[in-house]
Chain A
Amino acid sequence: MTPRELQAEILSGPKAAECAPYVNDGSDPSRKATAYADDQAIAAILSEGRVKIASKEIGDGAVANALGYPDGPVFLYYLAQAASAPADQTPQSIAACAMAAQAWRSLSKASLDVGNLSVRAAIDMMVGTLLTAEQAVAVKALAEQPDSVSAADVSRAMRGPWGDE
Chain B
Amino acid sequence: MAATNPDVQVTWSAASSVTLSSTARVDSDALTLNAADGPASVQISADNSGTPSAGDVLNVYAKYTNGDILGDTGDDYDTNKGATFLGQLDTYSTNGEDPIRRTYDLRSFGKKGVKISVDAPQGGVSGRNIVVRARIVTNRQQ
Which A residues contact B (CB, under 8 angstroms)? 24-26, 29, 31-32, 35-36, 151-153, 155-156, 158-161, 165
Nearest residue in A to B126 (C-beta to C-beta)? Answer: A160
Across the interface, name the chain A residue whose C-beta is closest to B96. A36
Knowing A26-B128, A151-B94, A155-B92, say if A32 contacts B122 (CB, 8 Å): no
Across the interface, do B93 and A35 meet the contact criterion of CB distance under 8 Å? yes
Question: Which residues of chain B are within 8 angstroms of A153 by Cβ–Cβ distance?
Answer: 54
Contacts between the two chains (Cβ within 8 Å), count: 53
Interfacial residues of chain B within 78-113, with CB under 8 A of chain A in the complex: 92-94, 98
Q: B76: shortest Cβ distance to chain A, in Å?
A: 35
B92 to chain A, nearest CB (A): 6
Question: Which partner residue on chain B sits nearest A33 by CB separation?
Answer: B98
Instruction: Point out the residues of chain A lying under 8 angstroms from B128, CB to CB.
Output: 26, 159
B interface residues, Cβ below 8 angstroms from A: 50-55, 92-94, 98, 122, 125-128
If A36-B93, A151-B94, A155-B92 touch, does A26 touch B54 (CB 8 Å cutoff)? no
Residues of A within 8 A of B54 (CB): 151-153, 155-156
**Interface pair A36/B55, CB less than 8 Å apart:** no
Q: Besides the contacts A152-B54, A161-B126, what 4 more A-B pairs have beta carbons closer than 8 Å?
A: A36-B93, A151-B54, A152-B94, A159-B51
Residues in A whose Cβ lies below 8 Å from that of B92: 35-36, 152, 155
Contacts of B94 in A (CB 8 A): 36, 151-152
Which residues of chain A come closer than 8 Å to B98, judged between CB atoms? 32
